[in-house]
Structure 1
Amino acid sequence: MRVLVAGATGAIGRRLLPLLLAAGHQVTGLSRSADGLDRIRESGARAVRADALDAVGLRRAVAEAAPQAVIHQLTDLSGADGAANNRLRREGTRHLVDAARAAGADRIVAQSISWAYAPGDGPADESVPLDGTGEQPRARIVSGVRTLEETAAELPGAVALRYGILYGPGTWYAPGGPVAAALGGDPGARFLGSVEADDSVSSFVHVEDAARAAVLALEWPAGAYNIVDDEPAPARTWLPVLARALDAPAPARAAGAAPWARGALNARARALGWTPAHPSWRDGFARQEG
């Protein structure tokens, strides 16, 4: 299959390209920078320069690649700027779907998140609606996710991968990353999230498992899938384990929980053959590299 990867040089994209090539796909990666293009070529994939916020340039690049399927791994998280990332979810996805349709592609696998569900008891499966809250800044985040998924679903073969919190190389949770800095008391550490050891429940997924899911999802029925490990857990449980793995001080226990922080279930993806190689953050945190 001819596959175009948007976001090919991100934490997931870097692992995704060799997996797609090993599976026999013809792969083209998009990047905005010359360095990014070089990294894509070094992986063995074809490289095309494009900016997802430039509709005309993106359409030209996608037409050149002539993909049968598009994998959307676009994020803008390097500066921990939620507004910039939300813009990419909205405008970048719009441009990418329009370009894919114009090029004749009818399948897209899009990166979404698993912590946008409405509040409730216990981890959420995909039947739970997205949060309808009007409270900011969460309302903007969920609105951006909803727009991303609805825009992607304009293509008949649209799959939304609702990833858990990503950890592993190239992520905020890797050794030497901003979460380690925050746990160490650095007030300048920049990331989106919290290091409060409260009762808020999260689900995690290692970047390698996230990339493997994207390859498999090229063959999955359209719809949304939680891509998370097997152990949703409260921050009071997982944060001390992460701190120990990062050789950072463990935070003091905090009270309370965000009502929407409930974690997610992965049964739907598992039923289609995805099995996380890192089934729990307990072992995964300790084994990750920077």
Structure 2
Amino acid sequence: MRILVTGASGVIGRNLIPLLVKDGHVVGGMVKSAASERIVAEMQAEPFVVDAFLQEDVDHMFQVFQPDVVIHQITALRQWNTFDNAHVRIEGTKNIVDAAKRVHVKRIVAQSISWAYEAGDAPATEDTALDLSAAEPRKTTIDGIVSLEQKVTEIPEYVILRNGALYGPGTWYAADGSIADKVRKREMTATDGVTSFVHVQDAVNAIMLALDWESGIFNIVDDMPVPGNVWIPAYAKLIGADEPAILQGRSGIERGASNAKARRLGWSPVFPTWEDGFKDMLLK
């Protein structure tokens, strides 16, 4: 197949594209800069330097490459700017999907998040409502996710992968990442709030399988939702940081998510628990 990956130089794209090429697919990679263009070319994919906000340029890329499938991974999170990320999820996704429709793309696999659900006591399933009544600043993130997910359903076959907190080499949680920096500075307080994690490798494996999945929404998270007062102290110890401050209590939206639906379709995480994955990431 001819597969176009948006956000191709991101941590998922850099791990995904070599697998797609190895499987014999013709791969295009949409990036924002010449430096990223070189990264994509070195992975034996065809790079396209395109601004997602310029519809004419996005259309030209689709006309030239003529993809059968789009794997939509574009984000804007390097500066922790939720507004920019929501903006690209809304306007960038609109431009990409509209261009895809014009060349009759039949399938899209899109990245979403698993911590956008409304408050509750148990891990959220895909049937749980999103947190549409959220106040700012969370509302900005929710609005971006809702718009992205609604837009990609305009493609005949769509798979939405709601990833857990993404960790692994090259992520915020790596030893040189921004989360590690915050933990070392004791800027993160450990509470009872629950997080569902997913390793980069497992997120990529889910995308590979999703090329053949039925249309739908799937949580891509590990088997063990974990409270912050468990994972943050353990993480601090692994990176040689001081113990974090610990407080009781959690927000109802900090509930984690269930991966049962994706598991039923054959996805099985290589790192079923955050503990195994963190050790693999930080002790190598």
Instruction: Tell whether 2:168 aligns with 1:168.
Output: yes
Which of 240, 245, 261 is the aligned partner of 2:238? 245
Tell me the CA shift for residue 23 of structure 1: 2.1
**Letter aligned with residue 76 of structure 1:** A
| Counterpart position of 1:122 | 122
CA distance in 1, matches of 2:103, 2:49: 17
| Counterpart position of 2:256 | 263
Instruction: Tell whether 2:216 aligns with 1:223.
Output: yes
Are the counterparts in 2 of residues 19 and 212 from structure 1 also a CA contact under 8 Å?
no
Which of 272, 275, 279 is the aligned partner of 2:272? 279
Tell me the CA shift for residue 185 of structure 1: 1.3
Tell me the CA shift for residue 250 of structure 1: 2.4
Are the counterparts in 2 of residues 229 and 278 from structure 1 also a CA contact under 8 Å?
yes
Q: How does 1:1-290 map to 2 (within 5 A)?
A: 1-185=1-185, 195-288=188-281
Are the counterparts in 1 of residues 186 and 244 from structure 2 also a CA contact under 8 Å?
no
TM-score, structure 1 as length reference: 0.94
Cα deviation 1:214-234 (Å, max 9, x = unaligned) = 111111111100000010011
CA distance in 1, matches of 2:277, 2:8: 24
Matched residues, number: 283
Are the counterparts in 2 of residues 97 and 155 from structure 1 also a CA contact under 8 Å?
yes
Are the counterparts in 2 of residues 69 and 105 from structure 1 also a CA contact under 8 Å?
yes
Cα deviation 1:158-185 (Å, max 9, x = unaligned) = 1110000000111111101111111111
Tell me the CA shift for residue 186 of structure 1: 7.5
**Letter aligned with residue 227 of structure 2:** P
Identity %: 45
Structure 1: unaligned runs, 5 residues or longer: 188-194
Are the counterparts in 2 of residues 125 and 226 from structure 1 also a CA contact under 8 Å?
yes
CA distance in 2, matches of 1:44, 1:78: 25
**Letter aligned with residue 24 of structure 1:** G
Are the counterparts in 1 of residues 186 and 242 from structure 2 also a CA contact under 8 Å?
no
CA distance in 2, matches of 1:95, 1:210: 25
Deviates further, 23-32 or 223-232: 23-32
